[in-house]
Amino acid sequence: MAIAWVVGVLIAGTSVSYAQGGSGSDSMASGKSASQTATSKSADRALQKRVRAVLAKDKHVTVSNITVRARAGAVTLQGTVPGQEEIERAGDIAKGVTGVTSVNNLLTVRTAGQ
């Protein structure tokens, strides 16, 4: 009877531990709460808008085909521009925006007909 009681306790303890390892532990493992994630997404969107606005103000950069993405200060520029000098200028402008920690410039020169 003592063995049956020990086995029962072990099984009950295992099921409680397993039940606690659900989705709650997943959010703890990531180290971010939902509000921290929302805040970082909001900050990323704000940085994207700032970079795009500064690019749009420059008369030497055509922003109509440029996409700006930001994540934790790292900015990626994607799309096409008419010439190589615009690629370089857009990257330099993005680097100068407050909050930008790095720029991944993936812009390419637009070929005829694009």
Tell me the fold of 37-109: Histidine-containing Protein; Chain: A; (3.30.1340)
Q: Count CB neighbours of 70 within 10 A.
A: 23
Note the pLDDT of residue 39. Answer: 81
Domain boundaries, the chain: 37-109
pTM for this prediction: 0.67
For residue 63 the two structure tokens come to: 């922003």
Amino acid 46 reads A
Angle between helices 84-95 and 34-57 (to 10 degrees): 130
User: Model confidence at 36, in pLDDT bands (50, 70, 90)?
Assistant: low
pLDDT in tens, 37-69: 878 999 999 999 999 999 999 999 999 999 999
Mind listing the pLDDT tens digit for each residue in 97-111?
A: 999 999 999 999 988
Q: What DSSP character marks residue 82?
A: S
Encode pLDDT of 81-100 as tens digits. 999 999 999 999 999 999 99
